[in-house]
Amino acid sequence: MVEDSPIQTTPGEQGALFPDSLLPDELVGYRGAAACQIAGITYRQLDYWARTGLVGPSIRSAHGSGSQRLYSFKDLLVLKVVKRLLDTGVSLQNIRVAVEHLRKRGVRDLARITLFSDGTTVYECTSPEEVVDLLQGGQGVFGIAVSGAMREISGTIHEFPAERADGMEIQEDHVDELSRRRAQRTG
């Protein structure tokens, strides 16, 4: 597994939109049923992708009957991207190549990527110059902002039960951003 390293961002860069407080603890995971609902996929897809190595649980894999897989936030993000690529007609073979590339990135790095595809090839874009280069070829492409999927997952992930792989209790932070800002202003 690739470690997340701090990224250097300049004001206005997408990376600044995802402070560490939005990213769950690396030992916090979600079971298969919750992962399916969060990513918008069927359990059959989840199971097939795990068995074939497309996207497996990075926190805890299943070991025999009755054991539960635990999917990390990054796993959920990659599942969501795979689902979106499939929905737009990209082949599973090409998705596998894209997923291999995504696995090498940390979660913070993923927030700065937009994936583009012409339905055949998947492209990565991390700057406006790359978008221009891709579109000059005349081929129509669509984009999937990984940061958008990340925000979507961050917004719904709290509705599902999570557990820590080490058995420790998860500390819940029930203060939303608006409440936090109000407290800072008055304090």
> Which domain covers residue 144, as residue numbers?
27-170
Structure confidence at residue 173 (pLDDT)? 63
Supply the mean pLDDT for the chain: 76
User: Can you tell me the distance from the alpha carbon of 122 to that of 116, in angstroms, rounded to the nearest whole number?
Assistant: 6
User: Can you tell me the distance from the alpha carbon of 37 to that of 34, in angstroms, rounded to the nearest whole number?
Assistant: 5
User: pTM score, two decimals?
Assistant: 0.62
The conformation of residue 139, written as its DSSP 8-state character, comes to -
Among the ranges 30-34, 62-66, 115-119, 172-176, which has the highest mean pLDDT value?
30-34
4 lies in some domain? no
Residue 65 vs residues 54, 61, 62, 130: alpha-carbon distances, Å: 21, 12, 8, 47
47 lies in some domain? yes
95 lies in some domain? yes
Outline where 71-161 has alpha helix (H).
Answer: 73-87, 92-103, 107-110, 128-135, 146-156
Where residue 9 falls among pLDDT bands split at 50, 70, 90?
very low
Residue 21 has pLDDT above 70, yes or no: no
Domain total of the chain: 1
Considering only residues 15 and 27, tell me which one the structure prediction assigns the higher pLDDT: 27
Half-sphere exposure of 36 (CA within 13 A, CB side): 14
176 lies in some domain? no
Tally Cβ neighbours within 10 Å of residue 165. Answer: 15
Where residue 50 falls among pLDDT bands split at 50, 70, 90?
very high
CATH number for the domain spanning 134: value is 1.10.1660.10
186 lies in some domain? no
16 lies in some domain? no
User: Can you tell me the distance from the alpha carbon of 89 to that of 112, in angstroms, rounded to the nearest whole number?
Assistant: 23
Residue 11 has pLDDT above 60, yes or no: no
6 lies in some domain? no
Considering only residues 3 and 165, tell me which one the structure prediction assigns the higher pLDDT: 165
11 lies in some domain? no
